[in-house]
Amino acid sequence: MTIKGIRFKLHFSWYIIFVLLSWGLSKSYFGTLLPEQSQFYHALMGVIATLALFGSVLIHELAHSFVARAYGLKTKSITLYFFGGIATLEREPHTATSDLFVSVAGPVASLVLALIFFVFSVSPLDRYLREMNLLIGVFNLIPVMPLDGGRILRGLVWKIRKRGFLDAMSVSLKVGRYLIYIILAILLYRFVKTKEGLLMMIILGVVHLISDNFYKEVSAVRKHEDISVKDIHIRRENIVCIPLEQGVKVYDFFRKYFFKYGFHGFPVVNRYGEIQGLITYWFIMHRLREKEITEETSLDEIYEPFSESMTISEGVSLKEALEKMYMENRERLFSVNDKREITGLITKSVITRMKEVKIRREAR
């Protein structure tokens, strides 16, 4: 379903938690508070409460999207998972102020909903939604990436220190890294004592894994700030390109390129060998899942045309390259020389592996 250019999606885990939560609420919540009502009524209220909860999550994500739109940022999709929702922006905010306001919009929306259900509370359903929206708002304010609180901290550091996006990201990740260890330790102690809090531990564990991936990427470039893009990029003559004039189809992409070379992204070129744009594995898989294309679709109909947002000067540091990848929400960039000629390709995975290379060299 698409509304005003925003695609709404339900992850398969949503259906599982919908059934489990509806059943749990009907038995343990409405069944306890309203024993005089029938089992059918309890089940119905469980379904309504679950739908209302996910409606609240959707409002939380829409708040992010609407504020992002006010700053010229488009939202590609909103996906509901078992643990909440994620609004996927086409790119990160380019200023500290926009980063702050986009990030804080979601928790504010949840806390406002909690206040509304508190003021107009007339039933157990209102009380449940009040408590859950309060929980969503407060939980998302924990300063751990990629939660809203981590992004708010990033925006504050960015605005105060004025050292750029990646510096603010690094500080936010470090704070969140230590904080989440403390919270997990407290939850583990509570679980051992009372057997409660397992779900929260699982959710925070997932958050930690995502945050740790960000941390590895950022820490890799901070240890190699003296290395430029030109030092490690894939040189132009070594880039595997897909020729558009050969009529390559989606089926051919997997058979002749992805399975053969193992790369997740390939430049596409015209008959003169000039790079025209990019095509990626994840982009094709997304379009296939949404049934927007088939295996017979030609790549020249769906590739992303070349633009300046895909480029980075070959003379800049890896730190600047990674920062642009984050800002433009890209996994790879074309490196260009002073004449704006494409000289190579740099990927986020190559930058991240720089830390591993150093460790292996030291081990030898």
Share of the chain above pLDDT 90, in %: 16
Instruction: Give residue limits of the domains in the chain.
Output: 2-219, 229-363
pLDDT digits (tens, 9 = 90+) for 17-65: 888 888 988 888 888 888 888 888 889 999 999 899 888 988 998 899 9
What is the third-level CATH fold of 229-363? CBS-domain (3.10.580)
Other beta carbons less than 10 A from residue 169's beta carbon: 25
Helix axes 124-139, 39-70, angle to 10 degrees: 40
Q: Is the pLDDT of residue 307 over 70?
A: yes
- Report pLDDT for 109: 94
- The Cα–Cα gap between 175 and 183 comes to 12
pLDDT digits (tens, 9 = 90+) for 136-186: 999 899 998 888 999 999 999 999 998 888 889 889 988 988 898 898 888
pLDDT digits (tens, 9 = 90+) for 217-267: 777 666 666 788 888 888 888 888 888 877 889 888 998 899 988 888 888
